[in-house]
Structure 1
């Protein structure tokens, strides 16, 4: 870092005082970010703006700010993947969908009414991010979302490990940063598994598919280890659950025999692909297998991962705290959480004082220092 947040947060910013706004589902992350910012600023006063999106029993809602935000530099957090949030709908308990969270984000922006100095949105998992391109007669949800937020006066949007960051081309005049928590991942891996030897003879990276190659290439480059890849052979004649089913995983790369293998991706959805890759690597003689995804969704439940861990197929699964994690997941012995709250607080402190975030977005120096240590 070229700046110290404990120094700059004690100086006045021309962009206004920081204001953190948490939509339903993002409150846990915002609380932790606020704790870091208060510590650096040396104040007991919270940066969190008192707000809410109450709902009528019919399902209608409204955004409310319970204090003034005039002239403040606002950072509105939204976790569109938090299905653990519920609301009453005609007597039924309804789980919030990504659409519900996104609507609440827009309600909060409406409540601001143009009074803030600047509005930035921190949306770790990008709304509609998995539908980033048009192949047939399809919607382009992420692109439309970005254009809508730009029209509402949002100055910047910050996301983490977007499924496809090229969606930012929809808003070339709006700030868009796709942040990768490389350092936080490696720090957690080394802390929780201190016996790992990250050199070319004992360790290698494997990408679960061609789409995840860029993040695995980064790890292999900074670690100086070999990189392998699986190619997903799909049946393009049918569609199951919105996508073409995988027929087989074909491996390309150096031998994994006797090596510890680290597999990284942006999302673990059902986890079928990650586990199939793990099984194939074990068949090829891999030693310990570690998995990471920025967003551990586990839409198919945890039983398959429980079995894989019990059978010794996987050594551990890492995922960030940037989206909702169930209590059951957090209590699993094989689950290791990557905390990105301090990283997010660094970002906000820098942006609020117009400090370059290049070293925050590309933590190569910090990764090298970690490995030397």
Structure 2
């Protein structure tokens, strides 16, 4: 999207970006994109509407120091009065630590969410508008009640709105219906399909995105909508697995999977893309890849918005070495250890420019509908790489 679209649109307020410690890396990239675009803009700062429009950085200095007991407080070290504030955080960044009674604790999603609330509380209603960009939606896996249990995600959404948050933006929500918890508030869930397609075309020169050469695979019924969109916009077929579980047992908090049953056309000789919202332990992805190879699939690409790798990388290393998996793609929306970035089979999908576009567009109070539906951009990149004819 051209930034020239915003030349005649007055910003909603002075832009301020709060990248909490969990998102400092991607926050810095986002900041550089916006600063570069606005430096090249023809908007004149002589106009009262564009005062402080062009800056070297829009990052707000904040911190969440902790006491020896492990308790913390949020501090904003500069004025945010009247600013259009965008708070970016990664609740999955387990690399950060703090001391608790002399012991080292790794920060959990609960800790990151608490820090978000501390910064919102520190703003004390002085910001003109607050938008929270939380790529991995806090407690999104606890989105529905199947027993006498808490609905943590819905409670968190209510809490943020009640604290004065105007908009919540997340990526690839585990179940987007959770937005029904706050029907009168703005909640956007963004799909990174365009970035996945672009990364594949850029990093795999011999890829052929045609019905004869490729299929999109949903590893379970929950990911079907993602696979349908991916397959539909590229113009290839899709298939899906459903997990047959043993509901008489509970292992590590869930019913164990007995088998993966496949529904779809023949995958023999085709490259396949297995797409899902997250890689947690990775067991399900490995099982699906094994089933696809048994059906004589060619190269297997694993594409997941969030690469958590809760059990490490050993399984994926072995899967790559044995030829089971060809490439693994995840985004930088959550913490990526250096070990992952150095893997030969890993493709990093950078989302910083996309987030910068969202922030810059919203700050100008312009529509983001074109960003939420990337069909046109996908077709352009497919033409660019010769996948479809003009």
Shift of 1:243: 1.3
1:310 maps to 2:308: no
**Correspondence list, 1:132-151, <5 A:** 132-151=143-162
In angstroms, what is the RMSD of aligned CA positions? Answer: 1.1
Distance 1:6 1:189 in 2: 29
Distance 1:44 1:111 in 2: 24
**TM-score, reference length from structure 1:** 0.97
Q: Name the SS of the counterpart of 1:19 in structure 2.
A: strand
- Specify the alignment match of 2:193 in structure 1: 182
Aligned residue-pair number:
370
- Specify the alignment match of 2:34 in structure 1: 37
1:23 maps to 2:48: no
Distance 2:119 2:161 in 1: 15
Distance 1:25 1:266 in 2: 20
Shift of 1:11: 6.3
Residue number among 365, 369, 386 corresponding to 1:354 in the alignment: 365
Distance 1:361 1:271 in 2: 28
- Specify the alignment match of 1:294 in structure 2: 305
- Specify the alignment match of 2:388 in structure 1: none
Contact residue 10 and residue 41 of structure 1 kept, 8 A: no
Q: Name the SS of the counterpart of 1:25 in structure 2.
A: helix
**Correspondence list, 1:109-148, <5 A:** 109-148=120-159
- Specify the alignment match of 2:205 in structure 1: 194
Q: Name the SS of the counterpart of 1:58 in structure 2.
A: coil
Distance 1:192 1:218 in 2: 22
**Correspondence list, 1:58-137, <5 A:** 58-137=69-148
Distance 2:114 2:7 in 1: 32
**Correspondence list, 1:190-339, <5 A:** 190-339=201-350
- Specify the alignment match of 1:5 in structure 2: 3
Q: Name the SS of the counterpart of 2:22 in structure 1.
A: coil
In structure 2, do the counterparts of structure 1 residues 10 and 74 end up closer, same or farther at CA, with 3 Å as the change threshold? farther
Shift of 1:94: 0.5
Moved more, 160-169 or 239-248: 239-248
In structure 2, do the counterparts of structure 1 residues 329 and 114 end up closer, same or farther at CA, with 3 Å as the change threshold? same
Deviations for 1:234-292, whole angstroms, at most 9, x for unmatched residues?
Answer: 01111112211101001111000000001100000000000110011001110100001
